Chain A
Amino acid sequence: MIKTPIYMDYHATTPVDPRVLQAMLPFFTEQFGNAASRNHSFGWEAERAVDKARGEVAALIGATAKEIIFTSGATESNNLAIKGVAGMYAEKGNHIITAATEHKAVLDTCKRLQKQGVQVTVLPVGKDGLVDLDALRRAITDKTILISIMHANNEIGVLQPVREIGRIAKERGVLFHTDATQAVGKVPVNVIDDNIDLLSISAHKMYGPKGVGALYVRRKNPRVQLTAQMDGGGHERGMRSGTLNVTGIVGLGAACAVCLQELPSEAVRLAGLRDRLKSRLEAALEEVYVNGSMEHRLPNNLNMSFAYVEGESMLMGIKDVAVSSGSACTSATLEPSYVLKALGVGDDLAHTSIRFGLGRFNTEEEVDYVAERVIETVNKLRELSPLYEMARAGVDLKTVAWQPER
């Protein structure tokens, strides 16, 4: 018997790996010191643990320990990177380039800066979810100070060409920030090879605890400076004040260390499970569409639209499986996914999209079970769907005069 509910929403969050938890536990109790206490062993112990974690985070992304700034998570890291650059480099320029499929922590940060007079260019993406490098080149002006483009998308798992973006940024003397929340620990990330100047990390997306993250800030070629967003004790090289979350930081470090070891085999295993899920669904169901590039994609992501079946009703049907939908009904805004919209996916299909996020603790049995439940539910709901009936009868749904709600 398979144990339910099954968790397949690893882009939302991940459980803490037991090895990570073990590493963290002593820092709640015996080793509770403040890493900024310079005059006793409690403080030294905490500082040592933080330094070790700094090294572990750095090792996973090809950085040096001093380049890691601990934060409360990727939202803070994104805010600090973008607002910090806008503040520090205001004399150099006031133009930021980002992309339409970015997380709200980037897009809304840019929007706020826009209200303060910063020029923001939001690059469109293609049907595959990728930014057009020529459009990026054309968007750069002599006022451009920052390009902020994510490494991997949280909905469709699409990997942006960060190496090329980094090269373009370097050539043009523009800083490059990447929100790598979904990528770090899942695919190889290297700030040197990819010419990344700033990179956001979150612990809870990679089997670490919630409430802790990091920002990589390049120290050489060029030395990146940021305007701090909080005033206080001047922690983290003055960029992020606040007593360090030692327990969380230890957890982030341990999570990075596990990922460094296991990434190569885990990526292969998850891609295998993901492909198994995809082929089972495609074999059993007509009119299912993958959203975004399959080629440039996280190994653990599958985002599919199931035509004629609304996403929330699908989630109800597979209620012992935890996945997400781009349907408006599942979002707080009652709008379907803006990411899918940016790809040119119509609202009709956006409402039918399901995001499967596989992870470390998923098994082949679980994948088979999920596939079965999805197939069963899609078939059931299509029998209930007037759209399916019309499409089967040869009606072109695009030509119907719909009567939207009054």
Chain B
Amino acid sequence: MSYSEKVLDHYNNPRNVGSFDKNDPTVGTGMVGAPECGDVMRLQLKVNPETGVIEDAKFKTFGCGSAIASSSLATEWVKGRTLDQALAIKNVEIVNELSLPPVKIHCSVLAEDAIKAAINDYKKKRDGEGR
């Protein structure tokens, strides 16, 4: 399979690789996929509790080049967005941006799931605290 320029760029220069302390109350962690399926994405968001804006994002991914590129792209896209804006990111947008072939669509779905899971995790922490 040949890869699009953008997938190659994200693979060769992945953005925002790393981790935040998952116990930090301003951090939301989403981990989706399974090693048996060949894909695990972990996406972490750092949210400004005052504004509800995602100020930083980090990822680590076990998976093919398209999975790495999808999660790398997701970290770029969520930064500077509010939680609601980030929740609005659809996998099709990732597919289009990275020109993913049909067999790689699941990578974009996983990235969308990772964003949602990270936001859910953050909200759970936040709401838990307020109670």
Using a CB–CB distance below 8 Å, which chain A residues touch chain B? 308-313, 316-317, 327-329, 334, 336, 346-348, 351, 383-389, 397, 402-406
A314 to B38: give the CA distance in the assembly, Å: 12
- Tell me whether A327 and B38 are in contact (CB under 8 A): yes
A397 to B33: give the CA distance in the assembly, Å: 13
A389 to B22: give the CA distance in the assembly, Å: 13
User: Please, which residues of chain B bring their CB within 8 A of the CB of A404?
Assistant: 33-34, 36-37
- Tell me whether B62 and A402 are in contact (CB under 8 A): no
- Tell me whether A384 and B68 are in contact (CB under 8 A): yes
Using a CB–CB distance below 8 Å, which chain B residues touch chain A? 3, 8, 11, 14, 17, 19, 31-42, 60-65, 67-68, 103, 106, 109-110, 113, 117
User: Please, which residues of chain B bring their CB within 8 A of the CB of A385?
Assistant: 60-62
- Tell me whether B62 and A387 are in contact (CB under 8 A): yes
- Tell me whether A351 and B34 are in contact (CB under 8 A): no
User: Please, which residues of chain B bring their CB within 8 A of the CB of A310?
Assistant: 38-39, 62-64, 67
User: Please, which residues of chain A bring their CB within 8 A of the CB of B33?
Assistant: 402-405
User: Please, which residues of chain A bring their CB within 8 A of the CB of B17?
Assistant: 383-384
- Tell me whether A386 and B61 are in contact (CB under 8 A): yes
**B72 CB, nearest partner CB in chain A, Å:** 9
A311 to B63: give the CA distance in the assembly, Å: 8
User: Please, which residues of chain A bring their CB within 8 A of the CB of B34?
Assistant: 402-404
A329 to B3: give the CA distance in the assembly, Å: 13
B contact patch SS: mixed
15 residue pairs A–B, Cβ–Cβ below 8 Å: A310-B62, A310-B67, A313-B65, A316-B8, A316-B64, A316-B65, A328-B38, A329-B64, A348-B35, A351-B38, A386-B61, A388-B62, A389-B19, A405-B106, A405-B110
User: Please, which residues of chain A bring their CB within 8 A of the CB of B67?
Assistant: 310, 313
- Tell me whether B60 and A386 are in contact (CB under 8 A): yes
A108 to B32: give the CA distance in the assembly, Å: 35
- Tell me whether B117 and A313 are in contact (CB under 8 A): no
**B110 CB, nearest partner CB in chain A, Å:** 6
Contacts A316-B65, A384-B68, A404-B37 aside, 8 further interface pairs with beta carbons under 8 A come to: A310-B62, A313-B67, A313-B68, A327-B38, A386-B40, A386-B60, A403-B31, A405-B109
> Which A residue's beta carbon lies closest to that of B65?
A316
A327 to B36: give the CA distance in the assembly, Å: 10
User: Please, which residues of chain B bring their CB within 8 A of the CB of A311?
Assistant: 38
User: Please, which residues of chain B bring their CB within 8 A of the CB of A348?
Assistant: 35-36
**B73 CB, nearest partner CB in chain A, Å:** 14
**A305 CB, nearest partner CB in chain B, Å:** 12
Most interface-central of B14, B17, B64, B103 (chain A CB within 10 A): B64
**B91 CB, nearest partner CB in chain A, Å:** 11
User: Please, which residues of chain B bring their CB within 8 A of the CB of A386?
Assistant: 31, 40-42, 60-62
User: Please, which residues of chain B bring their CB within 8 A of the CB of A402?
Assistant: 33-36, 40
**A326 CB, nearest partner CB in chain B, Å:** 10
A326 to B103: give the CA distance in the assembly, Å: 17
A388 to B64: give the CA distance in the assembly, Å: 15
- Tell me whether B109 and A336 are in contact (CB under 8 A): no
> Which B residue's beta carbon lies closest to that of A403?
B32
B36 touches which of A308, A312, A347, A389 (Cβ 8 Å):
A347
Most interface-central of B36, B38, B60 (chain A CB within 10 A): B38
**B101 CB, nearest partner CB in chain A, Å:** 11
Query: Which 5 residue pairs of A and B lie closest in terms of their CB atoms, listed nearest first?
Result: A402-B34, A348-B35, A351-B38, A347-B36, A312-B64
